[in-house]
Amino acid sequence: METSTPLIMENTSEKNTAAFTHLSTLSQYIIPFGNYIFPIIIWSGYKDKSEFANYHGKQALNFQLSLLLYTLILALIAIPIFITVVLQNIPLEAFFHNEHFVIRNFNFEGNIGLLSIGATAVFLFGVLKFVEFFLIIYATIKASNGEFYKYPLTIPFIK
């Protein structure tokens, strides 16, 4: 009877650790790079003690690293496009007229394709961040229930 209690406590502790690892990635909204720092701290402290916590720590970190890669790719698409379009349209006139901000001498027609690609990259970034939030919550719930969860579209950087 005494041996079953520590196993249940340990199992609950493992579930809580795994769930908190996923949840700690949301610290990115308060602390820069918190989505990497806190999961690494939690994972490194428990990876040798619990296979369950080790699995979920790897999943959380791989997901965050994959999102970083996807974000960098989208930024490498969007930023040069917007800079190129603006630089091509220099003598750009911008002023206030009757309490409205007016831009003149900007050629939208000649750059609509590039602007569409840049706007699509920015939109995809927004979708990525929105989906990230809900996937983290879902992974946290799965871990707290004692289930293994693998994030979609995740590159296994840490094996």
**pLDDT per residue as tens digits for the range 8-60:** 334 899 999 999 999 999 999 999 999 999 999 999 999 999 999 999 999 99
- The residue that leads in pLDDT, 93 or 19, is 19
pTM comes to: 0.81
Question: Domain boundaries in the chain?
Answer: 4-144
In which band, very low, low, confident or very high, does the pLDDT at 4 lie, cut at 50, 70 and 90? very low
Please tell me the predicted confidence (pLDDT) of residue 9.
36
Strand partners for 102: 95
